[in-house]
Amino acid sequence: MEQKDKDKILVEQLTKEIKRLGRIIALLLASLILIPLLLIVQPDLFSWFRKSESEIAAEKKKKAIEQSLADTQPKEDNGFWKPADLNSISNNQLKAQILYGQDLIAHTAKYLGPKGSVSQTTNGMNCQNCHLAAGTKTWGNNYGAVFATYPKYRARSGQTEDIYKRINDCIERSLNGTALTLNSKEMQAMKAYIEFIGKEVIKGEKPKGSGIVELPFLDRPADPLKGKELFVVKCQRCHQPNGEGILAGDQIEYLYPPLWGNHSYNQGAGLYRMSRMAGFIKNNMPQGVSFQNPELTDEEAWDLAAYINSQARPTKDFSADWPKIAEKPVDHPFGPYADKFSETQHKFGPFQPIADEKKKKKK
Ligand code: HEC
Ligand code: HEC
């Protein structure tokens, strides 16, 4: 081949390479212009690379569960009451007693229910069904204030009550059962547990997040019909359409406790008062929510309370309750009253006018 031909081939190859390079550069430039253009026309472009709705929902749920667990064991620095550490008990005899008390509160039915190993003197519910996480959950009707504030005057009995009396109150009303003798092993153990977990609270103080939250009153009567609609959607898959709950596999304790019916709390119980029920469910139901992640609005909680507390449940003679009728709480559903409001208004509200009048009379 002559030098001239060689040169020609070289030139041809070179032009080819230059053209290819040119095309690459053109493509690069085009995409530099095209991507922003595409983003303007289709701002959701990157959603193609995002997680699907169901993946997001699953992650959110996982986070909520982790959060609610974290709330159950509040950190020291956020000011909420925290139970004293059971691991810190060095006396073995005392530790055994306190752990027995904890187990009695978490699994009451095992010991005192219809198939109880100690006695058959309660309705089959556990204290823990209403005092969540054995009485330690923030705003879960916990025992944070008990050791610090008892004995105290309680208007329901018109007497100064100690912790024994208060525990038996829940046994006779919430567990629709028979009072324990004060020196029984079971009473002593539950009292020891409740005292121990609340021992770090300053005497006389009600710590933050203890007991049940006070919800603001509605300016209308709470509505059982609205409550029923909500119940069907949000509650009955666990508590059942007839409200009677489901027993666990062992047939001894409840998997989902009863909200009404023969095996539920009776009409003298705290939860039968609308404000206690609404405050409890707001921060604790459906199961798994916490005060930081509630699912119900205040209004929904009041309407659900109205529905649940309109259903049939055991009665007992509580005519000796509230000996000073002027001290009855605004939401005590049984007369006689020191004011002119009806039993219906005392049951469902609106409660603000009743509260206002009570305040005026006190002055
Ligand atoms: C059906 C629900 C329910 C069950 C079951 C129940 N309780 Fe209660 N308990 C309540 C309610 C409601 C209150 C009142 C909370 C309030 O007024 O803020 C209460 C209050 C108490 C208090 C006083 C708390 C305070 O800060 O003044 C103690 C102590 C107590 N219960 C112990 C027990 C024990 C022990 C058991 C089991 C033997 C039990 N309860 C079972 C609903 C229940
Ligand atoms: C996923 C199942 C589940 C759902 C849904 C649920 N609960 Fe519960 N509920 C429970 C369990 C379990 C307990 C007992 C908690 C424990 O023992 O730790 C309970 C306890 C209760 C209690 C106190 C105990 C009693 O029997 O009186 C009330 C009141 C209550 N739930 C109301 C509601 C309401 C109202 C809803 C709907 C907004 C609801 N629950 C939705 C599982 C559920």
The answer to the question of residue 183 being in a domain is yes
Cα–ligand 2 centroid distance for 257 (angstroms): 7
State the Cα angle at 269 between 267 and 271, rounded to 5°: 100
How much is the pLDDT for 73? 52
pLDDT in tens, 301-330: 999 999 999 999 999 888 899 999 999 999
Instruction: Note whether 290 and 187 are same-domain residues.
Output: no
Distance CA 363, CA 360 (A): 5
Our count of domains for the chain comes to 2
Instruction: Determine the residue of 235, 262, 307 to mutate for testing ligand 2's pocket, defined as the one with the most ligand atoms within 8 A of the Cβ atom.
Output: 235
Radius of gyration of the chain (CA): 32
Mean residue pLDDT of the chain comes to: 93
276 and 345 assigned to the same domain? yes
Residues 230 and 315 in one domain: yes
Asked if residue 145 has its Cβ within 6 Å of ligand 1, the reply is: yes
Lowest mean pLDDT, pick from 13-27, 94-108, 187-201, 248-262 = 13-27
pLDDT tens-digit readout, 236-248: 999 999 999 999 9
For residue 146, what are its two tokens?
A: 């008990």
Query: Do 185 and 253 sit in the same domain of this protein?
Result: no
Domain membership flag for residue 294? yes
Confidence at residue 330, expressed as pLDDT on a 0 to 100 scale:
97
In a domain, 98, yes or no: yes
- Tell me, what CATH number does 268's domain have? 1.10.760.10
Ligand nearest to the CA of 260: 2
Indicate if 169 and 278 belong to the same structural domain.
Answer: no
* Residue 39 lies inside a defined structural domain of this protein: no
Residue 32 burial (CB count, 10 A): 10
Please report whether residue 35 resides in a domain: no
Q: What band does 53 get if pLDDT is binned at 50, 70 and 90?
A: confident
Q: Is residue 45 part of a domain?
A: no
Last residue in a domain, options 150, 178, 197:
197
Mark which of 149, 178, 197 sits at the end of a domain: 197
Q: Are residues 325 and 230 in the same domain?
A: yes
- Substitution site in 247, 285, 313 for ligand 2 pocket (most atoms within 8 Å of beta carbon): 285
Q: Are residues 103 and 169 in the same domain?
A: yes
Among 51-60, 190-199, 294-303, which stretch is predicted with the lowest mean pLDDT?
A: 51-60
Distance CA 287, CA 115 (A): 26
The neighbour count for residue 328, using CB atoms within 10 Å, is 22
Q: Do 332 and 261 have their domain in common? A: yes
Q: Which domain holds residue 288?
A: 224-352
Alpha-carbon torsion angle 163, 111, 93, 76, nearest 10: -60
